[in-house]
Structure 1
């Protein structure tokens, strides 16, 4: 085979033992998990705001961002459930480019997966400790999630992964909400089929073991827009799209129908400032239609300390995205307050 072994990676249990969670973090996760699940079961009417950088590329910048988010959270926690987005794995359409801190703990250095595993676990733990909020990450590699599964309160399956069998079956064994994004084509049926799979029990091979799952009743959809055959972005956050999603949900026997709206990606055509307007429109649609208010549980926003994005190189700006462009902190803070007022 054209493959060579660079290093043997530690078992997840060994890495967890080396970088353990404190009792206070374990209790925080238990409490936050219950609060988030209550939103999906309609026991709570809090609105989810899953917000953070497109890619978590720098521990200090990410933790500074989360600390700022914590100050805002103290003011809006009666209405909002803020979940810091700390994405450490990045899908690459062509396989080229920065693949996230898991691959490259230092973005301008060669890949080092062992250092990456340590870096992402330490960063999530530090962010939770300093911000007082458990976090979200993307499940890009299903077998790698066990390195973080004791500290995450939310996971997302991306547009390029949502049709993958292993992602769907792994999601069925998770005990936290998992969001299944619509594929890049924008197809709602594919997305909902993924929710059906994730909510169902399965037996399959996972990390060299024969496992059986119970199904995840908190699996739900994320609308992130699509792209047509000409490469044109087709948003799916408009009122008509939400009503169509509601109708398709009503025709399926799924537990806890729910959706989050991703305000960036193909919904904004990566015009990051558009996220402000898109979130406002989503809130208007929810308030206009009581059924949509129950279905739409939150929004996803890409935001960092400094707005826009930059290339990897010398003289990089601290706290500015090195992948997709993000809202800056000032716009983010005002947007969160606006969401709290209008949700």
Structure 2
């Protein structure tokens, strides 16, 4: 009989079920309470009933959990100092979208050597999220693979759908069932229509193929996620962090009848992926908010212990501790300066 399936599959390794992994890396009742409370605060900020500024800040990606935890401990102290004006949520990004090839993140390749031990990656991700929560910081991540949330979403306070996947029906459906507030980025071209449509779709009931906690394929039906919003991140046509860009976004959101809260990303295309330009972009975002634009509810910053980034792959022993192996980040001292400026300005 002619072979007609798995012609290009070289390996198919079963994963532990989500229920099994959650039993191995357990979420405590205190952590569950913290996650629920932090999500409610973020919802209140998006709705305008909590006037604090929402700041999603942290490494572009987590590749070294030791450095990531050191960063978190520093950030937790800073967050406590500004908590009356700024609500800080740490970027804890485990999945990296790739246009062609490259390191796909800690979940896919935790050893950073191409061995792709996803079971170990998922275990490390849950373990690390618990450590971050225990510092007193809420967590933020981009959800890329639609199966991943079953393993880690119970430890996430806020999530994002990236520019490459905002137009994806699969991701809009997934977002409709997620339990945390979520931001859709504008498309890589810079267009806002896809993100506005995504917010609309994710807010509606959906039924789609998914994976149950038992690991079985299932038909998932959702009630819709009412806590979705737009993220302006610039695009191929240039940045979109200016006051006119924000006003245009608010107008389109209002006309579409969806949440008109706006978050602006100071990194990615808004700074041309140049970490030296990120502070000036961020300061303009804060200037707009301080000038009275309460619909501009938050911002995103890519930040690590050491600024810039480093080439990867390279021997792991040669990697600079605390420096990104994906996008360029601002350094810790610059982060402290910008956060303190934010609290003072607001």
Distance 1:67 1:91 in 2: 27
The farther-off stretch of 279-288 and 216-225 is 279-288
Post-superposition offset of 1:134:
2.1
Q: Give matches, 1:93-104, under 5 Å.
A: 93-94=99-100, 96-104=101-109
Distance 1:102 1:72 in 2: 28
Distance 2:76 2:62 in 1: 17
Matched pairs, number: 332
**Aligned equivalent of 1:301:** 301
Q: Give matches, 1:104-143, under 5 Å.
A: 104-129=109-134, 131-143=135-147
Post-superposition offset of 1:4:
3.5
Residue among 66, 82, 86 paired with 1:80: 86
1:17 paired with 2:20, answer no
CA deviations 1:67-120 (Å, max 9, x no partner) are: 0001101100111110000100000111x1111001111223522111111111
Distance 2:64 2:104 in 1: 13
TM-score, normalised relative to structure 2:
0.93
Q: Name segments (4+ residues, structure 1) moved above 4 Å.
A: none
1:241 paired with 2:245, answer yes
**Aligned equivalent of 2:320:** 317
Distance 1:80 1:320 in 2: 25
1:27 aligned counterpart, secondary structure: helix
2:294 aligned counterpart, secondary structure: helix
**Aligned equivalent of 1:231:** none
Distance 1:56 1:138 in 2: 12
Q: Give matches, 1:138-157, under 5 Å.
A: 138-157=142-161
Distance 1:199 1:166 in 2: 14
1:7 aligned counterpart, secondary structure: coil
1:52 paired with 2:58, answer yes
Residue among 193, 210, 235 paired with 2:219: 210
Residue among 201, 206, 230 paired with 1:197: 201
Distance 2:170 2:261 in 1: 22
Distance 2:290 2:76 in 1: 27
Distance 1:104 1:5 in 2: 15
Distance 2:75 2:326 in 1: 21
Post-superposition offset of 1:213:
0.9
1:3 aligned counterpart, secondary structure: coil
Post-superposition offset of 1:65:
0.2
Distance 2:35 2:89 in 1: 12
2:190 aligned counterpart, secondary structure: coil
Q: Give matches, 1:267-286, under 5 Å.
A: 267-286=270-289
CA deviations 1:124-160 (Å, max 9, x no partner) are: 111211x211201111011111111111000100011
1:48 aligned counterpart, secondary structure: strand
**Aligned equivalent of 1:5:** 11
**Aligned equivalent of 2:3:** none
CA contact (8 A) 2:250 2:262 kept: no
2:344 aligned counterpart, secondary structure: helix
Distance 1:243 1:68 in 2: 35
Structure 1: any 5+ residue segments left out of the alignment?
229-233
1:220 paired with 2:229, answer yes
CA deviations 1:200-257 (Å, max 9, x no partner) are: 11122222212211111110111110014xxxxx000011111111111121111x32
1:261 paired with 2:264, answer yes
2:60 aligned counterpart, secondary structure: coil
CA contact (8 A) 2:250 2:261 kept: no
CA contact (8 A) 2:233 2:239 kept: yes
